[in-house]
Amino acid sequence: MTESTPAAAKIGDQLPQIVYGPISRTTLALYAGASGDHNPIHIDSDMAKSAGLDDVFAQGMLSFGVLARVPKSWAGTENLRAFGIRFVSMTQVHDVITCAGEIVEIFHDSGEKRARISLAATAQDGRKTLTGEAVVALPADLK
């Protein structure tokens, strides 16, 4: 399969995948520090147990940030127009997530050619953890 490029984008194109993990407790601590989101449920197993969970679980926004790399790396940061996702299941410690995107629509808006990209993050056992979509600006067609 030939690699999809923004200049030749068409519906059905798969964007290069990003595989992230295994997600360790260190990853969770580092993301808490880097993001400033210090919610203890992700870094303190005593707290997680007091909430009735077996263990800490990963910050949703960690996977969100990795999934955002898929459209951003393909189209360029300055061409990302929108990015939105729904958190469909928890990402657990030791998960390896695969982030994938597919072009589902090409349209014009605000004087730009744009692509809508369907996105999903999936854990190693097939569990979907995040689903969503991005809109990116594409290079204008040559006249």
CB atoms inside a 10 Å sphere around CB 56: 21
Of 12 and 52, the one with the shorter C-beta distance to other proteins is 52
Of 9 and 130, the one with the shorter C-beta distance to other proteins is 130
Nearest to 1, CA basis, from 14, 20, 17, 18: 14
Of positions 16, 54, 55, 86, contacts other proteins by CB under 8 A: 86
Q: What would the x/- binding string for other proteins be over residues 27 to 66, using CB under 8 A? A: x--xx-xxxxxxxxx-----x--xxx-------xxx-xxx
Nearest to 15, CA basis, from 103, 133, 132: 103
Alpha carbon distance, N-terminus to C-terminus of the chain: 28
Q: Does 124 bind other proteins (CB under 8 A)?
A: no
What is the C-alpha separation between 92 and 54, in angstroms, rounded? 11
Smallest gap, in angstroms, from Cβ of residue 73 to other proteins? 7
Q: Does 77 bind other proteins (CB under 8 A)?
A: yes
Q: Does 20 bind other proteins (CB under 8 A)?
A: yes
DSSP annotation of 124: T
Of positions 9, 56, 58, 85, contacts other proteins by CB under 8 A: 85
